[in-house]
Structure 1
Amino acid sequence: MQKLQTLDDARVEFDESCLVQAIDIDLPHALCPTLLFGVTATMPIAPPAGNRTPACFRALPPNLPRLHRLYDWLGSIYPPDRTAAETHFVDCASSNTPCSETYRVQLPDGTLRYLKSAGANYRNADGTLRTTGIVWDVTGDVVMTQTLRNAKENTDIKNAELELALDELSNREQDLEELSSRLDLALDSYNCGIWESNPVTHIETWDARMCQLHGVPFTDGRILAADWIELIHPDDREHAKLSSYHFTENFLPDPLVVRVPQPDGSIRYIRSIGKVHTMRDGSKKVVGIAFDVTQDAILTRELKAAKDEADAKNAELELAKSRIEHNSLHDPLTLLANRRKLDVELDRLSRSSHNERQKFSILHLDLDRFKQINDTLGHAAGDAMLVHASRILSRNVRSGDIVARIGGDEFVILATDNSSAEEISQLAQRIIAEFHQPIDFEGFACRCGVSIGIAQASGMNVDARRTLVNADIALYRAKGMGRNRYEFFTQNLQAEIVSHKRTADEVLTGIDNDEFIAFYQPQFDARTNQLTGVEALIRWNHPHHGILAPDRFLKIAEDLNVSAALDHIVLQTVLKDKMRWAALGVRVPKVSVNVSSKRLNDEALIDTLQTLAIVPGEISFELVESIFLDESEAAATSNLERIKELGIDIEIDDFGTGHTSIVSLLKLKPKRLKIDRQLVMPILTSPQERALVRSIIDIARSLGVETVAEGVETMQHASLLRELGCDLLQGYAFARPLSFDDFTAAAHAGWRRAAA
């Protein structure tokens, strides 16, 4: 059969006169209201028997006619269901299959009812297609079905949720079992006990491990808190009680560590940790664990002991470091600051002067005659004098001043209190005055003076170290001016020092360049006027200033400690010149050479002399009178004897100005005494000086010692000295000091013009 596409197609195909005939259906109207229908191209609707229209059909047009068109019936279907119903009936008619469709209709009051239409297709005698069926209300069935379906869905959801909950519960039970197993393993591994405490009843419940930790047998695990306290070491009980009190008051105390004596007499350290837990009924209990920390406690104790020992050693090291630092900054003898400490303070002053004006004074002090005390009475006496000096300085300075010992007998005072020059002068005077007072050392009265150099500085960017140098310059001047005094640094003094430094450098250069030479002043026999010898006098042939006398450089040479080197240069020059004179036919019987105390105390002097070609009796060493006052120099005493053994005569220079005793003359046995020019010059006018010179000559003659008069300026002096019995004469009346060439020429001329 050709498929029908629409109801219009059905209407064309079938005879519109085809009517629906009633079909008896055995369904009670009360239980299942029905409506019979038959359809060809049109669909008249037949109402139920008795013309009773159930409420479910009231959606149809009122006064439903016997014959009604299909489209009017479809129009009564609830719109959302209309298309599906139409499509279903068309498809069934086209395929000649029974139809069965459920759809909704909307009643006048707005409610929806579910109707079900069911029918079958057959052909009339004329071959036309006819569909006959019934419509009945299935609202109750649909609602029941939906209710059951919803209930089933809810039940399925609940069942699924229940299954998930059961699965989760099962998983949790497994996790709890695993966790419990792990917890038991951990508790066993660490020997941890579990305890529970009731803050109200004060009853505790322990497991077996807890009892084992405390050395008590396990029964039911119940124990009174008081009994637990008794198990603890007496010294830890108060601490344990306090911890229990905190739990009772709902505090969370720190973990408790107590000592528990064991039955075998050992001590076990037990650490307890607990937490307050609130039960469902509102009651509280404390649950916790306890474990053995004996090894940890022992290790902690050992570590603490080691730490305490280390701390003690560190403290000792810090103390030692502090002492070392203190000692490195202080003099151990006087306990004053040392040079390093002074340098630190000087640098601090210099730095602070970059930001603010500074004014300070530096006093550089040097003890006079300290070496004499140290050498004659020993180092203990010297140390006592240094301590005495430190006390004098410390009690005379102000609290902010610094006193430092920077050398053997050198001290420095750093006064940073803006003192004026007058105040510093008064300080220096007080110090000098106190040094005049002697101190007793083992029955000896020890006294030494002090020389002080002072330098002051003020302003910004001050160089404190330069100020110390200036104080040292002033000290040098004070010692040069006679010692036991103080001097302030001035710019003029600075200029002198610069000149002194320049000269010192030139002296050293002159030694290297052989600029030092010998001049010779002849000595004549007082009776015959014959040449008996010469005195070799050092001169400096300066490259810029010409020939310079000793007063221009000898003091500087002594400061440079090169006077012995100059003595050696002169001696070597004399020996060479004697050979040259001999070659020129000039006879020089003897040459006197000045020897300094440094040279005489040189332990290598004799070895050096033995290397020189010295003819016995032709060389004399002139020694200043002060040398013989010091008998403590073993090297000098030994050298004097060895010098005479080498055939070198000894002469005492400048006799009469020092303190040489007759005993010293007898011991030394010199060849000659040279009467100082200070005694010779006034003899023409001073009877006292003349008598003194006569006495010296008489003493020398009585000892078999020749006398030489220095500074014979006139022939009147020569005549008087001859009358007094002097043996040899030396001075400008006969000849000035001469160079080698001039001496040679004068000798060849018979000394006629040597004094000119």
Structure 2
Amino acid sequence: MRSKLAWTNNELEDLLRQLDVALEASGIGIWQHNLRLNQTRWDEQLQRLYGVKKGELDVVWLDSVHPEDCPLARAIFEDAIANKSDYASQFRIIRPNGEIRHVRSRAKYFVDGKGEECFIGAEWDITEDVLRNEQLAYEREAAEKSRAEAKFAAEHDYLTGLTNRRAFDETFTRLATGAFDTAALCHIDIDRFKEINDRFGHARGDAVLRHVGSILASVVAGDEIAARLGGDEFAILSPQGDVQRAGTLLELVRQRLSRPIDLGDGQPIKVEFSAGIAHAQGPEIATLLASSDIALYAAKNDGRNRDEIFSPSLAEKLSEEKQLLQDLRNAADLGEIVPYYQVQVEARTFSICGLEALARWDSRNGVITPAAFLPVAVANGLMVSIDDAILHRVLFDIKRWELSGLKVPRVSVNLSAARLADPGLPDRLRSVAIPPGQISFELIETIFLDTLSTQVKENIALIRQLGVEIEIDDLGSGHASLIGLVELRPDRVKIDRHLVNPVLGSKTQRRLISSLIDIARALDITVVAEGVETMEHASILAELGADVLQGYAFGRPEAAALTAPRLSRQHSQRAPPRAFTNR
């Protein structure tokens, strides 16, 4: 019996030693708490975990728990005591050296051999697991954020934050498959945005796009979508919307764009836009984008800064204009764009002193005037090729006339403001070898002269170095300002025909023209009066001091073949000098 008992005790001691080793290896500490006495016993492993020495019966647990975790840890333990239920908690402790560790605690309620109610529990350090899980959670969150950012970037324009073209097309495709029974689309394009970029720079142009984008984002509501389709082209898609809703949206945008944009450099920019509106129902929703594009084209062609609502007649008109555009492109390639020449005469002698080259389209159906094709050319970027065609043909005609023994006067050729701002213009002019003093460029769209860009100033200087003179059109019309006149100092100015026409019956008009001529005289600029329809006009304008006259009184624009005989008869038809005294 003693032998068996000794064996049992030895076995128990071995088991206890094995348990101690296992607990030590695992880092698990053991505690027992007597509820009646409110006393706790810790084993050595638990003391090492907390980093504190504890008296046999001291209660120091909550003293070590992190202040932020203490209320919850206490509540959980008190709840287990009240319900005599199992206890499970997780909290942070602060060790004496300030180190923070994460601890998991588990315990069971029991009654010991003396009838005392107790909890016996175990605690172990889970700091590495917690930190690992936190890192994994952070990485998951970062990955999700990255995916969300990537998705946002894939679906939104980087500059404005609006829906981009790809996402807009996907939304529009879903819309067109029948998700809605009606929809409206506003197709928006900023007017003269290229001029904004050329004048103020691309950084300010981007600022304008961001500003417009923020306004579009601010006016949409519900399931409406504001998108940047590319460049300065935007759209507002309104599912369940109609033409009235589209008009309301555009009116809101115009109101918020009415104030010039302050870019912080003392140069506020006034932004205007054109818009096309289309509305459709059912399967026809798929045609919205094409329809709104047609309406936008019409809005820009009819003067800009306006809205146009799509209609079948607009589509028919666009079809005709597209055919005109194709024919016009072919005309430029086939040499059908030719100059017609209108003579300019000296005001005192009526002798021919110049020619103005005016573009005509010599088509198979007859000669077409500029009013019928230049707006299409301007809207579709054909003015460079048309201007080049006219200049080349003018130089060809001059050479041909000179070879036939004619003395050719100065020839004036129109040049648009957009071309004058082209950095490549001087090189193209050098390549055609313009005879010095033979050509004058007449600047149109001269409203831009108030603020000449650096590029325009450089181009004008280089043009003059090539022996090409500069003149500006429409003096007195409000477009050619005096500020621009003083800064540019052209060789010639033209008095607008609308001022010339009523000069016969209006003394006020005569005084106005006289004042304009005096201004030009003060700047040593030659004055050309255009729109001279009668010899009476010519006489009055000569008396007022005009230097050169141009108009139907002396000849309509003619083809080169008819201009040559006029030049050859120059001396025989010259009128005798007039006894006018210039003012």
- TM-score normalised by length of structure 2: 0.72
Higher relative contact order (CA 8 A, sep 6+): 2
CA distance in 1, matches of 2:218, 2:484: 44
CA distance in 1, matches of 2:333, 2:136: 62
Q: 2:317 aligns with which of 479, 496, 510?
A: 496
Worse-matched range after superposition: 708-717 or 579-588: 579-588
Say yes or no: does 1:599 pair with 2:425. no
> One-letter code of the match for 2:522?
S
Distance 1:542 1:751, change over 3 A: farther
- In the other structure, the counterpart of 1:330 is 156
Distance 1:452 1:442, change over 3 A: same
> Any residues of structure 2 matched to 1:183-202 within 5 Å, and which?
none
Distance 1:590 1:342, change over 3 A: same
Is 1:457–1:467's contact at 8 Å kept on the other side of the alignment?
yes
Q: Any idea what SS the aligned residue of 2:230 has?
A: coil
Say yes or no: does 1:413 pair with 2:236. yes
Say yes or no: does 1:518 pair with 2:339. yes
**1:430 CA drift (Å):** 2.4
**1:314 CA drift (Å):** 6.8
**1:342 CA drift (Å):** 0.9
**1:586 CA drift (Å):** 3.0
Is 2:474–2:480's contact at 8 Å kept on the other side of the alignment?
no
**1:362 CA drift (Å):** 0.8
**1:328 CA drift (Å):** 1.8
Distance 1:519 1:321, change over 3 A: same
- In the other structure, the counterpart of 2:500 is 680
Distance 1:335 1:386, change over 3 A: same
**1:400 CA drift (Å):** 0.7
**1:558 CA drift (Å):** 1.9
- In the other structure, the counterpart of 1:86 is none
Q: Any idea what SS the aligned residue of 2:335 has?
A: coil
**1:630 CA drift (Å):** 3.4
CA distance in 1, matches of 2:448, 2:200: 19
Is 1:564–1:595's contact at 8 Å kept on the other side of the alignment?
no
> Any residues of structure 2 matched to 1:355-754 within 5 Å, and which?
358-368=181-191, 381-417=204-240, 419-438=241-260, 440-442=262-264, 444=266, 445-460=268-283, 462-463=285-286, 466-543=287-364, 545-624=365-444, 625-632=446-453, 634-748=454-568
- In the other structure, the counterpart of 1:267 is none
CA distance in 1, matches of 2:396, 2:297: 38
> Any residues of structure 2 matched to 1:197-212 within 5 Å, and which?
none
Is 1:359–1:416's contact at 8 Å kept on the other side of the alignment?
yes
Q: Any idea what SS the aligned residue of 1:501 has?
A: helix
**1:617 CA drift (Å):** 1.5
Is 2:301–2:379's contact at 8 Å kept on the other side of the alignment?
no
> One-letter code of the match for 1:683?
V
1:527-558, CA deviations, whole angstroms, 9 ceiling, x for partnerless residues? Answer: 11111111111111123x22111112212222
Q: Any idea what SS the aligned residue of 1:460 has?
A: helix
Identity value in percent? 38
1:400-434, CA deviations, whole angstroms, 9 ceiling, x for partnerless residues? Answer: 100112234332100002x2322322232222222
**1:523 CA drift (Å):** 0.8
- In the other structure, the counterpart of 2:168 is 342
Distance 1:708 1:461, change over 3 A: closer
> One-letter code of the match for 2:330?
T
Is 2:180–2:239's contact at 8 Å kept on the other side of the alignment?
no
Is 1:432–1:484's contact at 8 Å kept on the other side of the alignment?
no
- In the other structure, the counterpart of 2:124 is none
Distance 1:595 1:450, change over 3 A: closer
1:468-495, CA deviations, whole angstroms, 9 ceiling, x for partnerless residues? Answer: 2322222232233333332211111111
1:281-338, CA deviations, whole angstroms, 9 ceiling, x for partnerless residues? Answer: xxxxxxxxxxxxxxxxxxxx99x97x99889767645543332221121123332111
CA distance in 2, matches of 1:470, 1:751: 60
Pick the structure with greater CA Rg. 1
CA distance in 1, matches of 2:29, 2:20: 11
1:679-702, CA deviations, whole angstroms, 9 ceiling, x for partnerless residues? Answer: 212222333333222212121122
Is 1:575–1:613's contact at 8 Å kept on the other side of the alignment?
no
- TM-score normalised by length of structure 1: 0.57
Gaps of 5+ in 2: 33-127, 574-583
Q: Any idea what SS the aligned residue of 2:546 has?
A: coil
> One-letter code of the match for 1:325?
K
Q: Any idea what SS the aligned residue of 2:348 has?
A: coil
**1:749 CA drift (Å):** 5.5
CA distance in 2, matches of 1:357, 1:347: 11
CA distance in 1, matches of 2:220, 2:180: 22
CA distance in 2, matches of 1:655, 1:329: 51
Distance 1:320 1:596, change over 3 A: same
- Count of residue correspondences: 469
CA distance in 2, matches of 1:378, 1:563: 23
Distance 1:478 1:684, change over 3 A: same
> One-letter code of the match for 1:332?
Y
**1:639 CA drift (Å):** 1.7
- In the other structure, the counterpart of 2:23 is 233
> One-letter code of the match for 2:163?
A
Distance 1:555 1:369, change over 3 A: closer
- In the other structure, the counterpart of 1:269 is none
CA distance in 1, matches of 2:536, 2:299: 41
1:238-293, CA deviations, whole angstroms, 9 ceiling, x for partnerless residues? Answer: 99x9xxxxxxxxxxxxxxxxxxxxxxxxxxxxxxxxxxxxxxxxxxxxxxxxxxxx
Is 2:187–2:275's contact at 8 Å kept on the other side of the alignment?
yes
CA distance in 1, matches of 2:369, 2:356: 14
Is 2:449–2:481's contact at 8 Å kept on the other side of the alignment?
no
**1:719 CA drift (Å):** 1.8
CA distance in 1, matches of 2:511, 2:572: 32
